[in-house]
Amino acid sequence: MTDIADVLLVHGGTPLEGEIRVRGAKNLVPKAMVAALLGSEPSRLRNVPDIRDVRVVRGLLQLHGVTVNTGEEPGELVLDPTRVESANVADIDAHAGSSRIPILFCGPLLHRLGHAFIPGLGGCDIGGRPIDFHFDVLRRFGATIEKRADGQYLEAPQRLRGCKIRLPYPSVGSTEQVLLTAVLAEGVTELSNAAVEPEIEDLICVLQKMGAIISMDTDRTIRITGVDKLGGYTHRAIPDRLEAASWASAALATEGNIYVRGAQQRSMMTFLNTFRRVGGAFAIDDEGIRFWHPGGPLNAIALETDVHPGFQTDWQQPLVVALTQASGLSIVHETVYESRLGFTSALGQMGAHIQLYRECLGGSACRFGQRNFLHSAVVSGPTKLQGADLVIPDLRGGFSYLIAALAAQGTSRVHGIDLINRGYENFLAKLEGLGAHIELPGVPAQHAKTAAAAVA
């Protein structure tokens, strides 16, 4: 199934206690790295986490002639795009399949080279994850797209032109595609029904530093006036609010107490309200947020995921583990990804009572209600969890399994932990630092910490 280094033994039942630090957001940093391609001068990106998505983009940038070096401070990258060149299709392919970011190279490469190649994409299996919006958008700018057996070949026969676009859904990636393409296109682009996640705002900040002209209205409309040339940027990435919420849920589910250094209230307000409704406690200071289980029963809640400023879908999976410990019936309606509740079947094997439904349960009807997807859940708690053999299905689901295994009685074998390295920096060392009883089978105890850091 998986090799030995990819299996983790988790001895559950110990509250996680201590401090961890989150760095730059996984859903911003790789995109800010792609933005550097648009500049005529080097850029400096700070607060970069050492995660797989960053390594994939670094490799792809280097293939295209961008030099990427570490900067003066830890977590700083200096990206020099002055000699951008075409990359070999086979080399690009070798880097693909593990991330969705390559699709965002389209606009910048079309501007810099007049052509681009996009291989098969990776990313988490949490729904169909089509890329139709991306290609519709690029065609509107004037790109031609040809699908061949090995991937998509794009060309810009002439300079791309600004246009009016309305997204069918406020997709994060498609909004980023428009931003990264419109900034150097000729004329004005007006994007309506745009995503407005904090990571998108931060990408806009990066582009503005480079010389772009971008304004955001209150009604999800973004206007971009194309310019002829962009420079470099110096930017500190916003902290990872998704990772921060994962550790908060881990504190709640294990009856622990975790200080998340780097967590910021502003980007987590909706999560914090929900955490409080469930019965979790938190305290905010200038450096981070402390999350803890205050004792006593947790409350069942109704929860619906949504685009920002709603409850982020990536917060859902870890919090569901904590909801298995709440008293009563919780209702979870996943409206962003049609298959993001599939991970709950393993929680059922551990003793959780979770029933999935095809109907939209809770407040509103969503895109998936008529389409036969199991996208609503009723979680009945509290239930004691027992250790089990678990196979990690996707990034957030994987972290949720770690939380469940840590909250459970007995030992779990968690297979496929390498997937978690896509988005959680150094997670094994962080878990050990919080007092988790974990073991990499075959690695002697005195070497486990080093191995944890190495795997991470």
* Residue ranges that bind ligand EPU, judged by CB under 6 A: 26-27, 100, 124, 127-134, 169, 171-174, 195, 197, 242, 313-314, 336-337, 395-396, 423
Find residue 224's DSSP bridge partners: 189, 214
| Minimal distance, residue 439 CB to ligand EPU, in Å | 26
Distance, in Å, from the CA atom of 258 to the CA atom of 260, rounded to the nearest integer, reads 6
314 annotated as ligand-binding: yes
Q: Does residue 163 carry a catalytic annotation?
A: no
93 annotated as ligand-binding: no
| Minimal distance, residue 145 CB to ligand EPU, in Å | 13
Q: HSE on the CB side for 35, CA within 13 Å?
A: 33
Find residue 259's DSSP bridge partners: 19, 290
C-beta closer to ligand EPU: residue 165 or 300: 165
Find the catalytic residue in 124, 163, 360, 366: 124
Distance, in Å, from the CA atom of 209 to the CA atom of 215, rounded to the nearest integer, reads 13
| Minimal distance, residue 422 CB to ligand EPU, in Å | 8
Question: Which single residue is written with the structure tokens 């280094």?
Answer: 5
C-beta closer to ligand EPU: residue 51 or 298: 51
Distance, in Å, from the CA atom of 365 to the CA atom of 21, rounded to the nearest integer, reads 38
How many beta carbons lie within 10 A of that of residue 384, not counting itself? Answer: 13
- For ligand EPU, the nearest residue by Cβ is 173
C-beta closer to ligand EPU: residue 25 or 323: 25
Asked if residues 40 and 66 have their Cβ atoms less than 8 Å apart, the reply is: no
Question: Shortest CA distance to 430 belongs to which of 282, 268, 259?
Answer: 259
273 annotated as ligand-binding: no
CA angle at 115 for the pair 109 and 118, rounded to the nearest 5°: 75
Asked if residues 262 and 331 have their Cβ atoms less than 8 Å apart, the reply is: no
159 annotated as ligand-binding: no
Question: Which single residue is written with the structure tokens 């019965």?
Answer: 279
Distance, in Å, from the CA atom of 275 to the CA atom of 293, rounded to the nearest integer, reads 10
What are the CA-CA distances from residue 283 to residues 114, 177, 286, 346, 431 (Å)? 51, 37, 10, 32, 21
C-beta closer to ligand EPU: residue 52 or 134: 134
C-beta closer to ligand EPU: residue 128 or 444: 128
26 annotated as ligand-binding: yes
| Minimal distance, residue 447 CB to ligand EPU, in Å | 30
Question: Which single residue is written with the structure tokens 């988005």?
Answer: 423
Instruction: Tell me the binding residues for phosphoenolpyruvate.
Output: 26-27
Catalytic residue numbers read 124
Instruction: Tell me the binding residues.
Output: 26-27, 100, 314, 336
Instruction: Tell me the binding residues for UDP-N-acetyl-alpha-D-glucosamine.
Output: 100, 314, 336
